[in-house]
Structure 1
Amino acid sequence: MAGYFSIFLVLLTLGSGLIWLIDHLVYAPKRQARIALAQGATGAELDEETIAQIAPQPAIAETAQSIFPMIAAITIFRSFLYEPFQIPSGSMMPTLLVGDFILVEKFAYGVKDPVWRSQLMDVAEPERGDSVVFKYPLDKKIDFIKRVIGLPGDTVVYRNKQLYIKPQCAEGQSTAQGLNCGEFNKIDMQLQNQDEFYADGIGQARLTENLGNVTHDILINPARPEQKMGYYQQPSTRIDEWIVPTDNYFVMGDNRDNSKDGRFWGFVDKKDLVGKAVFIWMSFEFEQDPDSILPSWVPTGVRFERLGSIQ
């Protein structure tokens, strides 16, 4: 849907701009000539009502002239700067909750055209720990948000709910973004609590995870076994091990036992990156009573304390 809306905005911008330009260059001078002729005949300045009767501007041209600057500004902002997204699921809990509205920095990793999404200019590479929005590899019409765990060349292991990363390093390099080169780094986790979030009546463990230079919180359901039979099996690796290809990234949700991420379908190609999630600008609660007459999509409250930068 986001892709179709982008195309719609571009077409609306081009259409309104073209109508306004043709009217400005072709028809507006003719209207001015009629007005000048009428003024010469009367020998006095004409009021706006009379001018509108003598040389009326077509409604379509007037509408295009009115909306073009606004639509053009929205198109530029949304296509190249920031795009709003709504979090539809709990796969990034506790970092992002259902009902969070976020801003995605579109130019964080490169500038792309809004229609064909071809890369126009490189800006930067994703870093380990970034929360990124990307085109879902199994259905490019859908946008997903997950956290970057593995960079190109990294080896990632997720075993017994513990993450290990062997970073890709240049020759002679000893560390990479806070991780030791040439070895598997066991990613540190520290328990915060077990009574804030529940799944199937069981309290989920909230832990702080240290991805080298980035610290963030994750959720783990101690009672839920790992779904290894559904993992993406990369050739020549173990079932819970992945080697990230060139120009690809390995991503996972922060809600580790409730996230269909790279463990299940592989890697995110660089060309499918949409941008970096940077800010929560609104957050709604949806906690209707089962007997409520209100539909489930109607907010029941605003979580103002969640507004701010995304870790």
Structure 2
Amino acid sequence: MDFSLLLVVAVAVTGLVWLLDVVWWRRRRRARLVAAEAGESVTLDDTARRKLTREPWPVDYARSFFPVLLIVLLLRSFIVEPFQIPSGSMRPTLEVGDFILVNKFTYGLRLPVANTKVLDLGEPERGDVMVFRFPEDPSVDFIKRVVGLPGDRIRYEGKQLYVNGKPVTKEVADRNPETAPGEVRFKEWLGEHEHAIYNNPRDPGPQMREVVVPPGHYFMMGDNRDHSNDSRYWGFVPEENIVGKAFAVWMHWDGGLPSFSSVRLIP
């Protein structure tokens, strides 16, 4: 179910009902009150007046909910949107159950539902953690790290990432991390981004010959390199599928009590 579409419809319906009341229905109620008072020999009491001018329940609900829904729509569409991490493909950077915030204007303002860019404010940079609509099913949101920009040459062999013919710098940080037994944790540098990745030394993992990122597209990879369904398998992400840049974890919830001890910025 597309929550953005539901939100847009809710704002449109409540706004229309409220507008119709302002320009039409409210005047009819007032005219009914004037006609009633003119036909009575005595002045109507407050109870009778309130009964004649009372808003119907659809108008009451629309007036109450429209401003709230509109603010939520504007914030979610143009400022920041929350997401929950459903898989371990971005470990150790992001864990399953992390709730993240995504900046919706870093890469430009887009219309809700249509996702059409209306204001260009910037482009993804190598190393950004980005949320995007999965090219094979745009109803599903994915989160990966940008490793290839338009025109880049990308290769992945022997657990080493190459960008434009040069190996991406990485160094061992932990050969058997407690949170991921059997994996090796590395520090990796993509552009100005220093972040952590996992590699499994016992698994040869995917090998990928050099590919060139087409104009208007991006090559995405998960930080959990041997356990990530990313561009190595299904290709490039078109610019129109971009949702925004993930910048912070604000809560973690794994089914028990929510935890705020892991609040942090995303490297």
TM-score, normalized by length of structure 1? Answer: 0.80
Identity %: 43
Task: Provide Cα deviations, 1:82-122, integer angstroms capped at 9, x if missing partner.
Answer: 11111000000011110011111112112111122222121
1:224 and 2:203 matched:
yes
Structure 1 gaps of 5+ residues are 167-183, 229-238, 287-298
Residue of structure 2 equivalent to 1:214: 193
The one of 187, 197, 209 aligned to 2:168: 187
> Structure 1: how far apart are the matches of 2:19 and 2:252?
41
Q: 1:21 to 1:97 in 2, by over 3 A?
A: same
1:274 matched residue in structure 2: 243
The answer to whether residue 178 in structure 2 is matched with residue 196 in structure 1 is: yes
What SS does the aligned partner of 2:64 have? Answer: helix
Q: Give the deviation of 1:148 after TM superposition.
A: 0.2
Aligned to 1:255: 224
Q: Whole-Å Cα distance in 2 between the matches of residues 156 and 280 of structure 1?
A: 29
Letter of the structure 1 residue corresponding to residue 139 of structure 2: K
Tell me the distance in 1 between the aligned counterparts of 2:122 and 2:41: 65
Asked if the contact 2:250–2:260 (Cα under 8 Å) also holds between the matched residues in 1, the reply is: no
What displacement does 1:275 show? Answer: 0.7
CA contact 1:90–1:96 (8 Å) conserved in 2: yes
Taking only aligned residues, the RMSD between alpha carbons, in angstroms, comes to: 1.9
The answer to whether residue 93 in structure 2 is matched with residue 95 in structure 1 is yes
Query: Helix, strand or coil: the match of 1:33?
Result: helix
2:116 to 112, 115, 118: 118
- Unaligned stretches of 5+ in structure 2? none
How does the TM-score come out when normalised to structure 2? 0.92
Cα deviations by residue, 1:253-283 (Å, 9 ceiling, x for unpaired): 0000000101111111111111111111211
CA contact (8 A) 1:197 1:203 kept: no
Report the equivalent of 1:236.
none
Output the CA distance in 2 between the equivalents of 1:131 and 1:42.
Answer: 74
Q: Could you tell me how far apart the structure 2 residues matched to 1:302 and 1:213 are?
A: 32
